[in-house]
Structure 1
Amino acid sequence: MQGSAAQLATVHQWSGVEVRALREAKRMSIREFAAHLGISERMISKWEAGGENIRPRPVNQAALDTCLSRSDADTQARFSHLTGDSLVSGASDDAGPAPIGSSKVRHPGDGSEMVEVEGSVFLSGRANDPVWLAGYFIDVNPVSNADYARFVAATGHPAPKHWPDGQMPGELATHPVVFVTWTDAAAYASWAGKELPTGQQWEKAARGTRGNVFPWGDQPTPAKCNVRENGVGATTPVGRYQSGVSPYGVYDLCGNVWEWCATESRPGRRELKGGAWTSPFERCAPPSFNDAAESMCDDDTGFRCAISTEEMRKLLGS
């Protein structure tokens, strides 16, 4: 194949043979490949040593499927050559597979940039339990003060209490809105034709499918986000921490502001995700649990929105 995935190859059943072939096709060491998949080097070595007699768990099969499907055309060609009969040809796609996080669109309701998180299994919570989620779109950034000001102007909804005389401070236009209750956040989402993400939707957007501890990987790096240790002492404009972006191209999923989720932890309380500028770094890992009363309103709490892929396609007429 001359630089294009003319016949995208997929695998009937992964074994250690296909694992080795994929690693070699990607020209990675065992260490690099393990980091790429988000699993241990020991596991990769075990699979490869077991050859045809090893069958990775379904959640790992899904991760390998994703890794192969998102490889460039030359890598797929090398993989096909190394594996031969273990493959079945897929549909023609001269452009090759789209990279993760490339499906950004503008929501027609509030104009926010959103990205698609495809339906798949992901590793959830501290125990990394495999969970299936249907596809959805999520806001690339938290809802900003400028976004919220349009909502207030259109609906007459009360402005956040830190806005002088109910007017948005211009210097905070690109900062995430704060001093919003869960009810405020849900009202904005409804006005925009969206909804608040569930805790698991939020977590998958932050961690990807392979169980990363943080949006950028497993390395604890407070400098990649706005947390207490950095001494910023306030919110920062959305999207400032470019190196802290998630596998789907979503920003501020660690630090800056806690984000309301749709998930009810118990009556009258909802999940919060991501930590904030007031939080110690250790509390900001996306698998962590936190919740608050729906009426809670603070200077470090905001939100972002989501919408199912099916509903978004309807809105976009596609």
Structure 2
Amino acid sequence: MTRVLRWTGRESLLLRNALRKSGNAFAELVGVSMRQVRRWEGRGETIELNPDNQAALDTVLAQADRAAQQRFAALLTERAAAEHDERVEDLLRSDSRTRKHPVDGKVMTLVEEGIYLSGPDNRSVWLDSFLIDVYPTTNEDYAKFVAATGYRAPPHWPGGRCPCTLATHPVVWVTWHDATAYVRWADKALPTGRQWEKAARGPKGRPYPWGVEPTAAKCNVAEAGIDATTPVSRYQSGVSPYGVFDLCGNVWEWCSTEEEPGNGRYELKGSAFTSPFDRAAPSLQNAAAAVMKDNDTGFRCVSLP
């Protein structure tokens, strides 16, 4: 569950909205007057609530049902997630850098050839240029593949149909083999671990896609308290130097690189909504058996320029 270290009028309003309560009903729930609730909401972040009120709001949040807690967590992180970032607009406007793939229609961006700093020890590594999906493969993308090929749908789709509410969320419950079937259909490939890492860290090897600050609010990790996937375009303030989204958090992403040759385990990168923020650094290593599937594992694709 999301915890609030400092309740202001803004957090109080977000909690009321998440609970879907009227002002009077919310005031009664918290044990204050309607006039006081109006004052909090009118003052917003400029008013910090007294300890008794903060404790009351903590209790209301703790006693809320799971759906309301998830709505509150999403509202709480929304501003940081959508923070204006000129890099996104500039990079996605550049016709020379981005293009739509002819098969699955996804926007891809160019990662130029050259050296980048790789791994926890920042080794210099040369990579040829490649294109990478700006967003992870969504349920909507995967539905096109299922419709075109008759491939089995993920188990979380009711009746084998893509849920409208999850259309723009990353597809999950896919094995490495499922991801490989998709890329064969799309005439693309899964990224190598090094391609994925360069797309996330840029040529200068920054620790996180957005820079050097370990800011959990810029990605969907366990600390956000959302406890579910989010739309792939949500975290605009967390994009990489190439304008690539969700390279920290939301879902782990399959890569084509084996952990050790022949052992059937493949690298996973980026962490997920289930993972603590300290697992989100793109330089970190993780791997799983090719048959593994879970509610926090998806993929994105690369191709030749």
One fold, TM greater than 0.5?
yes
- One-letter code aligned to 2:288: A
- One-letter code aligned to 1:117: V
Displacement of 1:100 in angstroms is 6.2
Matched, 1:193 2:181: no
Distance 2:207 2:190 in 1: 23
Matched, 1:167 2:170: no
1:197-208 equivalent positions in 2, closer than 5 A = 197-208=191-202
- One-letter code aligned to 1:268: G
Which residue number in structure 1 is paired with residue 104 of structure 2?
110
- For residues 156-208 of structure 1, what are the alpha-carbon distances to aligned partners after superposition, in whole Å with 9 as ceiling and x for unaligned? 11100011111111100000000000000011011001000000000000000
Distance 1:100 1:285 in 2: 22
Which residue number in structure 1 is paired with residue 213 of structure 2?
219
1:230-269 equivalent positions in 2, closer than 5 A = 230-266=224-260, 267-269=263-265
1:289-300 equivalent positions in 2, closer than 5 A = 289-300=285-296
Distance 1:154 1:240 in 2: 28
Distance 2:167 2:224 in 1: 22
Distance 1:227 1:110 in 2: 28
- For residues 243-275 of structure 1, what are the alpha-carbon distances to aligned partners after superposition, in whole Å with 9 as ceiling and x for unaligned? 000000000000000000000112210000000
- For residues 291-316 of structure 1, what are the alpha-carbon distances to aligned partners after superposition, in whole Å with 9 as ceiling and x for unaligned? 0000000000000000122xxxxxxx
- For residues 8-58 of structure 1, what are the alpha-carbon distances to aligned partners after superposition, in whole Å with 9 as ceiling and x for unaligned? xxxxxxxxxxxxxxxxxxxxxxxxxxxxxxxxxxxxxxxxxxxxxxxxxxx
TM-score (norm 1): 0.65
- One-letter code aligned to 2:213: Q
TM-score (norm 2): 0.68
Which residue number in structure 1 is paired with residue 303 of structure 2?
307
Coordinate RMSD, CA, aligned: 0.9
Alpha-carbon spacing, 1:232–1:119, altered in 2? closer, same or farther (3 Å)? same
Which residue number in structure 2 is paired with residue 49 of structure 1?
none
Runs of 4+ aligned structure 1 residues displaced above 3 Å come to 99-102
- One-letter code aligned to 1:246: S
- For residues 71-108 of structure 1, what are the alpha-carbon distances to aligned partners after superposition, in whole Å with 9 as ceiling and x for unaligned? xxxxxxxxxxxxxxxxxxxxxxxxxxxx7673110000
Distance 1:123 1:131 in 2: 6
**Count of matched residue positions in the alignment of Structure 1 and Structure 2:** 211
Alignment equivalent of 1:152, drawn from 146, 156, 162:
146
- One-letter code aligned to 2:272: A
Which residue number in structure 1 is paired with residue 113 of structure 2?
119
Which residue number in structure 2 is paired with residue 94 of structure 1?
none
**Helix, strand or coil for the counterpart of 2:124?**
strand
Distance 2:289 2:191 in 1: 17
Alignment equivalent of 1:270, drawn from 266, 271, 293:
266
**Helix, strand or coil for the counterpart of 2:184?**
helix
**Helix, strand or coil for the counterpart of 1:123?**
strand
Distance 1:166 1:100 in 2: 36
Distance 1:305 1:186 in 2: 10
Matched, 1:288 2:271: no
Unaligned runs of 5+ in 1: 1-98, 310-318
Distance 2:203 2:100 in 1: 24
- For residues 187-235 of structure 1, what are the alpha-carbon distances to aligned partners after superposition, in whole Å with 9 as ceiling and x for unaligned? 1011001000000000000000101000000100000000000101100
